[in-house]
């Protein structure tokens, strides 16, 4: 009897997959023959290959999950709030981002949390990215006469007027952290007037995210920046650009440090896949995370919504997307990308760590430099972004927009980055811990905690605006001389060169 049920579930699962592949092939190939047909065939082959890789247990569990989804969806309005009650209490009790990290671990599936919190190899780059802020101290001001109402932290970020000098950076596949995904993030960003960047590998549609955070009023930010990866298929990439323009995106960020994927040892340890492949280990870990698991089982399987025509589960596209990453993507390709975006808005190069790359990016047509080491998830021992920031600012001058991300866990880290040369700061793990801990409310809590810190630091420093902070930075900043980083015989941080004999 059980084997009969299992066989029926397997047949149903396979039939659904084949139907999805047929729909995909038809959707992708319609309207643009040739390259579109080749892409459709490649996606279909990847989907079939992914299904063939699954063992009997995985196919059985996949069939079970698909079978119970309707019942879970019907019970979701009643059961999910009960399952999430402990998580929401943890979110409300959080007093800093570390508390949200702990809360995220308590709610999320083990492999999901492992992916979120980890870095490359032994995680030295990740740890240094966080710890490097400790080498920057600040001198507070006395009797400056500035009150709470005097602060104006509004900032222009990639052409968008936002209420605060930090914003929500992109992250792929946010529905793996919480079923509300990018829409929850967008709603939280809207509530606080933040700018938001959306990943090309979003699990919500462009239209869903921009509707949640349109940024239609001045100073309210908006989901206005699309983050792209270096894909090899220009036909698909151009279609993504066209759809982004139609959806109201006004800026691009090309992630240039991800064409080679870093060694994520934690993902290997936890058996990470996106989405779950229903392995035995994943099944056991799912039982230990009831709120996350029931939420996942109550929703339609998530997919990568920016991939043209890919209207089925993300698991079928994993190999296809991996094949699209182009390690040989070069400056000529980047020049093409900038020209395709045209005068729609600014384009940022994300992943810059060298002054030579920063200068060449400006010459190539980028309007903004995004200093990043991909959250310490790519090159082990990649220099901390707060250390490389001053040198890059010096190289491109004051007229070029510079964004920084990496290692930000408190609002005072944002203030330090602004003082050292950033025009704005992108936050990643800080809000994602909140998302994994409690959906929209968790993201809101992360933003509230960072905002509290930023306002407090600015008040104690006696700075009314970001511009005033930058002006006073030389008398405010105290940088640990032992943190000097040498490259080609010179110190990266301009403020430490005098202590090193001017080199």
Q: Which residues are catalytic?
A: 374
Q: Which residues contact 33 (CB under 8 A, 6 or more apart)?
A: none
Concatenated DSSP letters of 257-321: S-SS----HHHHHHT--SS----HHHHHHHHT-HHHHHHHHTSPPP--TTSTT--S-GGGGHHHH
Is the bond preceding 72 in cis, omega lying within 30 degrees of 0? no
Find, among 418, 456, 447, the residue nearest to 195 by Cα.
447
Structure tokens at 479: 């940088």
Cα separation, 391 vs 289, whole angstroms = 45
Concatenated DSSP letters of 144-156: ----GGG----EE
Structure tokens at 18: 């084949």
Task: Give 188-199 as a 3 state SS string.
Answer: HHHHCCCEEEEE
Query: Within a 10 A sphere around the Cβ of 76, how many other Cβ atoms?
Result: 17
Rounded to 10°, the helix 466-476/411-419 angle is: 80
């Amino acid at each position: 009897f059980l084997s009969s049920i299992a066989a029926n579930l397997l047949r149903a699962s396979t039939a659904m997959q084949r139907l999805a592949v047929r729909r995909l092939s038809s959707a992708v190939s319609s309207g643009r023959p040739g390259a579109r047909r080749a892409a459709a065939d490649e996606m279909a082959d990847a989907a079939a290959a992914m299904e063939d890789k699954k063992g009997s247990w995985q196919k059985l569990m996949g069939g079970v999950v698909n079978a119970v989804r309707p019942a879970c969806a019907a019970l979701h309005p009643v059961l999910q709030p009960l399952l999430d009650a402990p998580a929401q209490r943890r979110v409300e009790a959080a007093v800093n981002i570390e508390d949200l990290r702990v809360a995220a671990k308590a709610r999320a599936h083990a492999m999901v949390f492992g992916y979120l919190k980890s870095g490359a190899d032994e995680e030295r780059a990740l740890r240094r990215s966080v710890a490097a802020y400790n080498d920057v101290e600040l001198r507070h001001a006395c009797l400056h006469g500035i009150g709470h109402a005097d602060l104006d932290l509004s900032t222009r970020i990639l052409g968008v007027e936002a209420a605060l000098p930090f914003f929500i950076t992109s992250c792929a596949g946010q529905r793996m952290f919480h079923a509300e995904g990018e829409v929850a993030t967008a709603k939280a960003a809207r509530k606080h007037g933040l700018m938001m960047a959306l990943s090309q590998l979003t699990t919500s549609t462009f239209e869903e995210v921009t509707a949640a955070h349109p940024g239609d009023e001045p100073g309210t930010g908006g989901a206005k920046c699309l983050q792209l990866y270096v894909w090899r298929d220009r036909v698909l990439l151009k279609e993504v650009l066209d759809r982004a323009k139609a959806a109201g995106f006004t800026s691009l960020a090309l992630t240039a440090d991800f064409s080679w994927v870093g060694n994520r040892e934690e993902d290997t340890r936890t058996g990470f896949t996106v989405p779950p492949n229903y392995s035995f280990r994943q099944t056991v870990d799912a039982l230990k995370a009831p709120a996350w698991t029931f939420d996942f089982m109550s929703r339609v399987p998530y997919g990568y919504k920016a991939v043209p025509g890919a209207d089925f589960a993300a698991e079928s596209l994993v190999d296809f997307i991996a094949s699209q990453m182009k390690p040989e993507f070069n400056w000529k390709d980047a020049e093409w990308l900038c020209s395709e975006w045209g005068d729609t808005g600014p384009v940022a190069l994300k992943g810059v760590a060298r002054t030579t790359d920063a200068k060449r990016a400006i010459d190539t047509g980028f309007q903004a430099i995004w200093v990043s080491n991909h959250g310490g998830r790519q090159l082990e021992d990649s220099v901390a972004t707060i250390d490389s920031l001053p040198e890059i600012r010096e190289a491109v001058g004051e007229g070029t927009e510079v964004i920084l991300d990496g290692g930000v866990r408190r609002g005072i880290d944002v203030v330090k980055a602004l003082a050292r040369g950033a025009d704005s700061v992108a936050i990643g793990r800080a809000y994602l811990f909140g998302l994994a801990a409690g959906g929209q409310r968790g993201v809101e809590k992360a933003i509230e905690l960072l905002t509290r810190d930023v306002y407090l630091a600015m008040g104690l420093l006696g700075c009314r605006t970001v511009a005033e902070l930058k002006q006073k930075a030389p008398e405010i900043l105290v940088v640990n001389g032992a943190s000097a980083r040498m490259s080609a015989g010179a110190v990266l941080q301009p403020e430490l060169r005098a202590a090193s004999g001017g080199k």
